[in-house]
Amino acid sequence: MASEKAPITIKKYANRRLYNTGSSAYVTLEDLGRMVKEGDDFVVIDAKSGEDITRSVLTQIIFEQEAKDGQSLLPISFLRQLIRFYGDSMQMLVPSFLDMSLSRFAGEQAKMREQMGSAFGGPVNPMLGAIEEQTRKNIAMFTQAVSVFNPFMTGLPGAEGGAAQDPAAPPKPASQSKAATDLDLLKQEIADMQRKLEGLAKSS
Confidence bin at 155 (pLDDT 50/70/90): very low
Residue 27: φ, ψ to 5°: -130, 170
What Å distances lie between residue 77 and 49, 116, 186, 190, CA to CA? 37, 25, 11, 10
pLDDT tens, residue by residue, 6-55: 899 999 998 889 999 999 999 999 999 999 999 999 999 999 999 999 99
pLDDT tens, residue by residue, 82-138: 899 999 888 888 888 888 888 887 777 767 666 666 655 544 455 556 656 666 666
pLDDT tens, residue by residue, 157-179: 444 444 445 555 555 555 555 55
Q: What is the pLDDT at residue 164?
A: 46
Strands lying side by side in the sheet with 42-46: 25-27, 18-20, 8-12, 42-46
CA distance 110 to 116: 10
